[in-house]
Amino acid sequence: MSFSPRIPVIATVLATAFAAASALADNGNGGVAYGGSGASSGQVGTTQFHTTSHALLGKGLSFSGTTTPNGAVAIQRLDKRTHSWVVVATATADKSGNFTATWRTDHIGVFQLRAVPGEDRQVRASSAPPTVQVTVFKPARATWYGPGFYGHKTACGKTMSRTLVGVANRTLPCGTKVSFLYKGRTITVPVVDRGPYSGGFDWDLTYAAAQQLGFDYTDSLGAVSLR
């Protein structure tokens, strides 16, 4: 289980170039990436960008930063299936080097993204590690439960109590980790029970999980399975 406030994420990509051709490589650590080809000609440009670490499916995730004045920038998402980078947004910097770009999120999950200066959009993941991590959540309806069930066994074999942190779902395997986003807060909990079975709800948080998330009795939130 983890809990964290909504925080900005900052990533830096350093691009180097030769006289006749250019190559790009990143090396990420802790949400910040540095890279270079090691060419003796040295660094010729710097691209910096920042965004938030959470987004809802179908909403715009904004990126802003600086790069070479009037330069092109591509925001890329790592496709884990093909181990390649997919362009999700592009921008052109103004004469001061400032740019903004927006990705209309079309997938849910935990994604690694980077900003690539220029037109270099086909670099393989093996040669260009990711730079930032963003979680995209699917909008859902949820409630919470607990009183009246304390002391009973859940469908996953847990003893229900005021301190049990988890969530009920109708189909996900017991123990599956699920991350929730609510009013800027996130929490990751395991599936500990089955349900909910009424009211058109997708999730049923335990009392302890709802308290940690600051969740109201019934409301909309963001959810994503991490299996």
More confident call, 35 vs 109: 109
Q: Return d(Cα 220, Cα 142) in angstroms, integer.
A: 6
pLDDT in tens, 148-184: 999 999 999 999 999 999 999 999 999 999 999 999 9
Band the pLDDT of 198: cuts 50, 70, 90: confident
pLDDT > 90? residue 76? yes
Burial of 199 (0-12, 13-18, 19+ CB in 10 A): exposed
Q: Return d(Cα 173, Cα 85) in angstroms, integer.
A: 31
The CATH class of the 2-130 domain is: mainly beta
Q: Tell me the whole-structure pTM to 2 decimals.
A: 0.75
Q: Which SS3 state, helix, strand or coil, does residue 213 take? A: helix
More confident call, 4 vs 175: 175
pLDDT > 70? residue 218? yes
Ranges of each domain in the chain = 2-130, 138-225
pLDDT > 70? residue 185? yes
pLDDT at 31: 29
Residue type, 213: L
Name 144's Cβ contacts closer than 8 Å, sequence gap at least 6. 204, 205, 206, 207, 209, 210, 215, 217
Phi, psi of 213 (to 5 degrees): -85, -10
Work out the percent of the chain whose per-residue pLDDT is above 70.
74
Residue type, 216: D
Q: Would you say the C-alpha torsion 33, 71, 86, 136 has a positive or negative sign?
A: positive
Residue type, 190: P
pLDDT at 13: 35
Q: What is the CATH code for 138-225?
A: 2.40.40.10
Helix (H) or strand (E) holding 193: strand 185-193
Mean residue pLDDT of the chain comes to 80
pLDDT at 217: 85
pLDDT in tens, 15-66: 333 233 333 333 332 222 222 222 222 223 467 889 999 999 999 999 999 9
Specify whether the CB–CB gap between 108 and 178 falls below 8 A.
Answer: no
Band the pLDDT of 120: cuts 50, 70, 90: low
Which tokens belong to 36? 């270079």
- In this structure, of 41-50, 119-128, 209-218, the range with the lowest mean pLDDT score is 119-128
Q: Return d(Cα 102, Cα 176) in angstroms, integer.
A: 31
Which tokens belong to 35? 């890279």
pLDDT > 80? residue 201? yes
